[in-house]
């Protein structure tokens, strides 16, 4: 029996994808070996990675002017690669700080001596909202945002406008492909796959090809986006198995009806939980309503003791991953694309029962 998995990442995967992977894990489609054993230079693996790359761009509505890369090192390595590649010494890296991972991103630019500017921040209210206005520095190299804040539970509901000529870069790790966006507005999109589109080990990067002509010279080979774009993510051995599973998840997304269908389902799941907050004095959401994430739902109970009891009792009912991030405490339900509606309904019922028994 499968349990209800509310982990923030590595996170739940579609059951039908897991079954497909299971069937092919020893003998991939009659080739007599596993994907984990297959040469990444083989024709068979070339079809796998190219299929994943094409599906990702197709789902996003992107054309040949974008390169789709599969790298390693997680979004945390991208925090470094972005300023290394795209912030010349005479320019300023601009960031909107919405907490935790957004903060880590600008701190990486600072560590390597790049000029940086916080164009807006929600730190004044403990990162409980998304800034609605921002002020760019003079000579901005780019504006960087984090579209969904996994820890704090806030999410951008718009694609931000930037002046003509200003590069827009986004960490989309935890809401990637959860709903339609104007992806063409972004010059570079990146994130870890392990939250919404695959297992841990692979990092996705979508980059406008004309950006590759603007990369700072003299970079270490593996830190240069052009290295990976020129070799179609094959400069060195890619995270082959993770990319294979990503490709299967992308097929699942298309079969489900694409981003429009996922958006309807994700909003319905989120509303199940947020409606409880809005009609309870026992549970408290931590984000202003208009900026609530459809992917990560943090909440508090009246006391920390009750929160510990809630998490422990939920586990006995086959619901795991409900402990909040260690940096903020409380509880959190991550309800990514692959989490079935049934899981959210079970959690919602448990929340109501727990409130009745402990109020």
Which residues have a catalytic role annotated?
101, 171, 195
- 298 with 153: CB under 8 angstroms? yes
Q: What letters, b where the CB count within 10 A reaches 16 and e where it falls short, cover 51-68?
A: bbbebbbebbebeeebbb
Instruction: Report strand pairing: 168-171 vs 140-146.
Output: parallel
How many Cα atoms sit within 13 Å of 295 on the Cβ side? 30
């Amino acid at each position: 029996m499968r349990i209800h998995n509310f982990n923030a990442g590595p996170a739940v995967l579609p059951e039908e994808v897991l079954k497909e992977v299971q069937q092919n894990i020893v003998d991939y489609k009659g080739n007599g070996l596993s994907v984990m054993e297959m040469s990444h230079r083989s024709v068979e693996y070339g079809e796998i990675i190219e299929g994943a790359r094409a599906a990702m761009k197709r789902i996003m509505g992107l054309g040949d002017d974008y390169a789709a890369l599969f790298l390693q090192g997680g979004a945390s390595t991208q925090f470094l690669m972005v300023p290394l590649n795209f912030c010349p010494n005479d320019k300023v890296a601009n960031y909107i700080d919405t907490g935790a991972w957004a903060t880590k991103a600008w701190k990486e630019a600072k560590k390597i001596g790049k000029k940086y500017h916080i164009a807006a921040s929600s730190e004044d209210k403990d990162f409980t909202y998304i800034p609605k206005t921002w002020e760019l520095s003079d000579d901005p190299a780019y504006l960087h945002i984090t579209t969904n804040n996994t820890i704090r539970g806030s999410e951008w509901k718009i694609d931000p406008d930037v002046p003509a000529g200003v590069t827009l870069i986004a960490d989309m790790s935890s809401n990637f492909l959860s709903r339609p966006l104007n992806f063409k507005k972004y010059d570079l999109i990146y994130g870890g796959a392990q939250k919404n589109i695959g297992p841990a080990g692979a990092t996705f990067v979508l980059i406008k090809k004309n950006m590759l002509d603007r990369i700072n010279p003299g970079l270490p080979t593996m830190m240069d986006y052009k290295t990976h774009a020129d070799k179609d993510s094959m400069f060195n051995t890619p995270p082959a198995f993770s990319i294979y599973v990503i490709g299967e998840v992308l097929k699942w997304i298309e079969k489900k009806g694409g981003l429009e269908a996922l958006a309807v389902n994700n909003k319905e799941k989120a509303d199940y939980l947020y409606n409880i907050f809005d009609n309870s004095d026992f549970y408290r959401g931590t984000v202003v309503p208009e900026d609530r994430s459809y992917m990560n739902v943090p909440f508090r109970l009246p006391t920390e003791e009750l929160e510990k009891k809630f998490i422990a009792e939920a586990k006995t009912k086959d619901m795991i991953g409900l402990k909040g991030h260690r940096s903020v405490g409380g509880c959190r339900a991550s309800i990514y694309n692959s989490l079935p509606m049934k899981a959210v309904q079970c959690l919602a019922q448990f929340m109501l029962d727990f409130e009745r028994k402990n109020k």
